[in-house]
Amino acid sequence: MFPGAGAERDDADFVVVGAPLDVSTSFQPGARFGPDRVRRYARGFDDYDHATGTRFSECDVSDHGDVRAWDEAAEYVEYLEGVCTDVVWDDAVPLVVGGEHTVSVAGVRAVDPDVFVCLDAHLDLKASFDGNELSHATVTRHALDVADRAVVLGARAGSEGEYERAARADVEVVPPESVPEWEPAFDADASVYCSVDVDAADPAFAPGTGTPEPFGLTSRECHVAVRAVAATGQVDGFDVVEVNDRDDGQAATLAAKLLRAFVHEAAAATET
């Protein structure tokens, strides 16, 4: 269980869903261990959040456990979408913990947001990667099949075709150096899905990820961005993905802290 996520499912405002899919990682596999590591490295955090005055254990978080993964990504994403849809129908926010970034497609489809906000080193706008139309490199493109707009924070890598796609009006790319000045601006009635690929952070802060990319965000910059999005009170789905076992816990610790920061800020926003 994610530490502090002790609410009964029927009473929960947030539901953690582990999604240990690990089939399309192209460089460093191990994302299947992500949900377990994120839960484990969250054990050392204080319950109280001074910034919001909330306690994680009082934010009505429940842990669904892991949705066991198999090697057929499309079938798994469809099944995971159903699990997340049940959470949405229960008027709770799914908190998906990956697993490779492909699992975000399930969360986005379940939430059906207007805006997809993603912290990511990569644009993930490929139509396919290595002949695979459903992989960690195609997530933002799939999100745009559902959402009207995508905002990619911290992107610093992509193919020529991806940057051409990103130049369209429905995509906003905020490079790492501009993220500290970025502020979320959504229509008042817009539904938002927030995805955190831990490789948005520079590998100096989170080396345990599938495709590390230098010149990225600091852990503090990730933290500020996640809190800013959550504070809008418009986020109906959240995930943190691409944590693997190739470091000493740095990536998992950052991912766990960002998930908790999101919950604290989102819970506080609903109370105001």
pLDDT digits (tens, 9 = 90+) for 62-78: 999 999 999 999 999 99
Q: Is the pLDDT of residue 117 over 90?
A: yes
Give the residue among 175, 176, 174, 187 at the shortest CA–CA distance from 232.
Answer: 187
pLDDT at 164: 98
Average pLDDT, the chain: 96
Three-class DSSP category at 260: helix
Domain ranges in the chain are: 9-271
Mean pLDDT over 114-141 rounds to 90
- The DSSP-derived string for 150-206 is EEEES--B--HHHHHHHTSTTEEEE-GGGGGG------TT--EEEEEEGGGB-TTT-
Extract the runs of DSSP E, i.e. beta strands, from 175-262: 192-197, 235-241
Q: Please tell me the distance from the alpha carbon of residue 124 to that of residue 34, in angstroms, as a whole number.
A: 20
**Fold of the domain spanning 9-271:** Arginase; Chain A (3.40.800)
The residues with which 98 forms a beta bridge, in sequence order, are 19
pLDDT per residue as tens digits for the range 169-181: 999 999 999 999 9
What pLDDT band is residue 11 in, cutting at 50, 70 and 90?
Answer: very high
Cβ proximity of 31 and 99 under 8 Å = yes
Three-class DSSP category at 20: coil
